[in-house]
Structure 1
Amino acid sequence: MQRPLYETASPEQLTHAMEKAAGKLLIVDFDETLWLRNSTECFLAHARPAPLAAAILRGLDLTRPWRVIGGRRRARDYRDWLRVMAIATLMPWTLRSWARIAPKLGRTFANTALEDLIGKARPARFVVFSNGYEAIIAPLLQCYPGTRPELAAASLRSGWKWRRAGKLANAEAYFDAGQLDDATVVTDHEDDAELLARVSNGLLCVWPDARYEKAFAKR
C-alpha cells in the first residue's frame, strides 16, 4: 500500500506524531494553527477609526483591484496584500497601535495545546512559516512562552510575491534541502498540501477553537 503523502490528524492524535520533530526542523503555520485567529483580518479589524477602515475595505471589495492586477486566477495572491497596504498607507498609525496591542492579543488567542506539544517535542529549529505578514505576526509572537520561534512570512512592501510563489517554493528557498527532508510541518490548510507532501512528517490538523473572522463583517 502506498504511503500517504501526509497525515490528517486530530489535535489528540498530534501527541505521538509530534514526537518525530525531536531534534529536527519543525515548521508551523500561524493563522488558525499556532494562533487561533487570522492575523491579517485581526489587524484590519483593529484599525481606528473603525468607520474609516471599514469604508476603505468596503471600497476595495466593491472595486476588486486585485482582479485588474492579477486576473481572476491570481486575484487571491494580491487581495490581502492590497487590503493591508491600503490601511497601512492611508491610516499609517495603525501599525504603531498594532505593535502596542498585538502582544496581548497574541496570548488571548494562543493555541496553548499546540505550544505545549512543541515544548515537549524539543525540535532543533522551530520556524513559524506563514503566508501572513511579518509586520503583523511578529508583535503577536512577542510574548510567546519560552524561546520565541523564528518567523518567515511575507513583507508588507512585496507580500504578493511571497503568496504568488507558494509555500513549497518559499520553503525550498528558505531552508536547507536536507533539513526540509526530515522536517515536520503542522498546518490547518489543504493549500499547503505540496509542502506537507515534501517533508517526512506532514501533519494537517484543524483546531476546533480556531476561527476565521473577516474584518468588519456584518453580523
Structure 2
Amino acid sequence: MNTLSYDTSVSKVARIIETASDSTPIIVDLDETLFLRNSTQEYLDTLRPHILGYLLLALLNFLKPWNWLPGKIKGEVSRDWVKVFVATLLFPWTLILWEWRAKELAQAYGNTIMLDALTKNANSRVIVATQGFDFIVRPLCKHFPIEFNSVIACRFWQGAIDRQRGKYSLVSAFLTKDEVNRAIAITDSTDDNPLLASVATPCLVIWPEAKYVSALTNIYIPFLYLERAKRPGKQYFLRKIVYDDFTILILGLSWVNNQPLIHAIGMFFLLLSFWCIYELGYVENDIVAERFEKQPTLSATYQRYINRINVWQAWIWAVAFAVPGLIILELAKVISIDVSLASIISTLDLQTALINMVFWIGFLLVVRLTFFVYNYVDKQTRTWLHFVLQTYKSFGFLVVTKTNIIGSMLFVAQVVSVWIPYFVHRYTKSKWSEELPHEMLRVFLFGFLVIAITLGTQNVSILISWQTLVIFIWYAYRARHRLWKLAREIHPISQDMWDIKN
C-alpha cells in the first residue's frame, strides 16, 4: 500500500496524465476536480421555482432528517443524498431542467488543464469516480470534450449506502484489484485516502479555479438581507417588523375596524409589501457607505449577500404581497357572521381594491424615492428625511385604510420616539443615545398626547377607551425592564454622587 505523500502540483498532474501508458487506468474525481464546481450543489441550484427550492433546503437544514436514518448511514454522510432524494421527488421536473443545464455547466466549468491533458493521451483508459449521483453526473460527463470509459457514481435509491461505503469501495466493485493497484488516481479530497493509498500513482491536488458554491445562494429572498447582512443575529424580522411595526399597525388601525382580525391579516400582507421596498433603501444605504465613506460600518456578511439583491424581484414581491392584502381589507368591510360566502363575493368591491392598489404602488414609489434622496444627501440633512421615513412606516398605511385620533397619537409617539435617538446620534458625538429608554419614551409621549387631546377636546372617552388602555398595557409591558430598573434606582437626592464643579 502506498504510504508516500499524495500532494501534487497542477503541472505535475498534467504531465502524469499525458505520459500515462495505455494500460494504466486513470481514475478521475469529478467535483472540484474534472468539474470545477460541485455537481450536487449545481443540481440543487436548478430547483424551480427558486423560492420553493430555497425553502425546502432551508427546512431540510433545520430538521436534519439525515440524523434520523439508521445505523451507518445516519448523519452527515447521507446529508447530500437526503437533499437530492427529497428535492427530486418533490420537484421531478428538475430532471428535465438538469439535462438542459448540464451542457452549459460542463462547458463553463470543465477543467481545461485536465481535459487538454486527457485529450493528448487519447488512448488512455479514463474512469470518472465520484460520490456524486449517477443521474446528475452522467449528463455532465457526456458534454465534456472526451469520452470516458466508465462513470462510477452513487445510485439514486441506494445513494446513502453508496456514500457510506466510500469511493474506494465503489471503484473496487468495478475494477479488479490489479487494475486499482496499477492506476493513477486524481482527487482533491482527503476523504479519498483509502483509494489514494491503493493506487500506483496517487495525486491529491487542489485546483485554484475550483470553487464550492452552495445551492441557491444567489437568489433574491425578501428580508434576507435585513436578517443576514444589515442586522445579522438580531432577528430583525421578528423583533422589528413583526413585534414592533405590526403591533403598532394592529393597535392603531385594525383595532378600530369592524373586523379587526381580518383587517390585521390584510395589514400584515401590506407590511410585507412595504418592507420589500424599504429593504432596498437599506441595501442602497450600505452600497453608498461602501462607496463614499472612509470607514463604512458594514457587517461581515455584507459581501456575501449584496449580490443576491434584485430590484425588479423586490417590486414583484411587493405587488404579490399587496394584492391579497388589499383584497382582504375589502373583505373586512363586507364580511359578517350572518352573510353567506356568495353574498360576500358579490358584494366585494374589486374596483376600490384596484384603486387602492394604484394608491399603494404610488406610496411605495414615494417611499423608494425618499430613501434614495436620503441615501445620497449629506448626513446632517438625513436627520430630517429620517423623520419622514419613520412617518411612512405608520401614517403611510392610511392611503388604503383609516384610524382614529388615538391611533394617530400612537403613530406620533412611535415616530418621535424613533426619530429622537437618531437626531441625537447625528448632532452629538457621545453614544448616550444608545442607552436611551425608547420604550419609556413612547409611553410618556403617548400619554402626553392622549392627555393633551382629552383636555383640549373635553372628550374623556379618549382617555378611558379600551384602545388607549391596551396601548398603555402594551407599552408598559415593552418597558417593564426599564420601569423596574427606574423604580429600583430611586433614591434621595442627598445620596447622589455630586461633581463639586457643577
- TM-score bin (small chain): over 0.9
Question: CA contact under 8 A between 1:182 and 1:200: conserved in structure 2?
Answer: yes
Range that drifts further, 191-200 or 66-75: 66-75
- Counterpart check, 1:11 vs 2:4: no
Partner residue, 2:353: none
Range that drifts further, 72-81 or 192-201: 72-81
CA shift in 2, pair 1:20/1:198, >3 Å: farther
Deviations 1:119-169 (A, max 9, x none): 223454211000001111111122221324421101111111110111112
- Counterpart check, 1:193 vs 2:196: no
Question: CA contact under 8 A between 1:21 and 1:183: conserved in structure 2?
Answer: no
Question: CA contact under 8 A between 1:25 and 1:182: conserved in structure 2?
Answer: yes
Partner residue, 1:125: 125
Q: Distance in 2 between the 1:11 and 1:57 partners?
A: 35
Q: Following TM superposition, where does structure 1 have runs of at least 4 consecutive aligned residues deviating by more than 6 angstroms?
A: none
The number of aligned residues is: 218
Partner residue, 2:234: none
Matching residue's letter, 2:16: A
Deviation, 1:70, is: 4.7
Q: Distance in 2 between the 1:73 and 1:160 partners?
A: 6
CA shift in 2, pair 1:144/1:17, >3 Å: same
Question: CA contact under 8 A between 2:37 and 2:109: conserved in structure 1?
Answer: yes
Question: CA contact under 8 A between 2:181 and 2:200: conserved in structure 1?
Answer: yes
Question: CA contact under 8 A between 1:36 and 1:111: conserved in structure 2?
Answer: yes
CA shift in 2, pair 1:70/1:11, >3 Å: farther
- Counterpart check, 1:146 vs 2:146: yes
Partner residue, 1:55: 55
- Counterpart check, 1:27 vs 2:27: yes
Q: Distance in 2 between the 1:15 and 1:39 partners?
A: 23
DSSP 3-state at the match of 1:175: coil
Q: Distance in 2 between the 1:148 and 1:129 partners?
A: 11
Partner residue, 1:170: 170
Deviation, 1:4, is: 4.1
The alignment's TM-score, normalised by the length of structure 2, stands at 0.42
Q: Distance in 2 between the 1:211 and 1:122 partners?
A: 28
Gaps of 5+ in 1: none
Seq. identity, %? 32
Question: CA contact under 8 A between 2:15 and 2:117: conserved in structure 1?
Answer: no
Q: Distance in 1 between the 2:155 and 2:73 partners?
A: 22
The alignment's TM-score, normalised by the length of structure 1, stands at 0.92
Matching residue's letter, 2:99: A
DSSP 3-state at the match of 2:203: strand
Question: CA contact under 8 A between 1:183 and 1:201: conserved in structure 2?
Answer: yes
Gaps of 5+ in 2: 218-303, 306-502
Q: Distance in 1 between the 2:196 and 2:72 partners?
A: 26
Q: Distance in 2 between the 1:147 and 1:154 partners?
A: 20
Q: CA-atom RMSD, angstroms?
A: 2.0
Deviations 1:54-79 (A, max 9, x none): 00110000000111115798412211
Question: CA contact under 8 A between 2:73 and 2:161: conserved in structure 1?
Answer: no
DSSP 3-state at the match of 1:174: coil
Q: Distance in 1 between the 2:149 and 2:163 partners?
A: 21
Question: CA contact under 8 A between 1:20 and 1:184: conserved in structure 2?
Answer: no
Structure with greater proportional helix content? 2
Q: Distance in 1 between the 2:173 and 2:66 partners?
A: 26
CA shift in 2, pair 1:55/1:71, >3 Å: farther
Deviation, 1:17, is: 2.7
DSSP 3-state at the match of 1:203: strand
CA shift in 2, pair 1:115/1:32, >3 Å: same
Question: CA contact under 8 A between 1:70 and 1:78: conserved in structure 2?
Answer: no
Q: Which has the higher contact order (CA 8 A, sep 6+)?
A: 1
Deviation, 1:35, is: 0.3
Deviation, 1:27, is: 0.5
Question: CA contact under 8 A between 1:31 and 1:130: conserved in structure 2?
Answer: yes
Question: CA contact under 8 A between 1:54 and 1:216: conserved in structure 2?
Answer: yes
Q: Distance in 2 between the 1:6 and 1:200 partners?
A: 12
Q: Distance in 2 between the 1:22 and 1:164 partners?
A: 32
Matching residue's letter, 1:48: R
Q: Distance in 2 between the 1:58 and 1:21 partners?
A: 45
CA shift in 2, pair 1:74/1:124, >3 Å: same
Question: CA contact under 8 A between 2:68 and 2:74: conserved in structure 1?
Answer: no
Q: Distance in 1 between the 2:38 and 2:148 partners?
A: 19
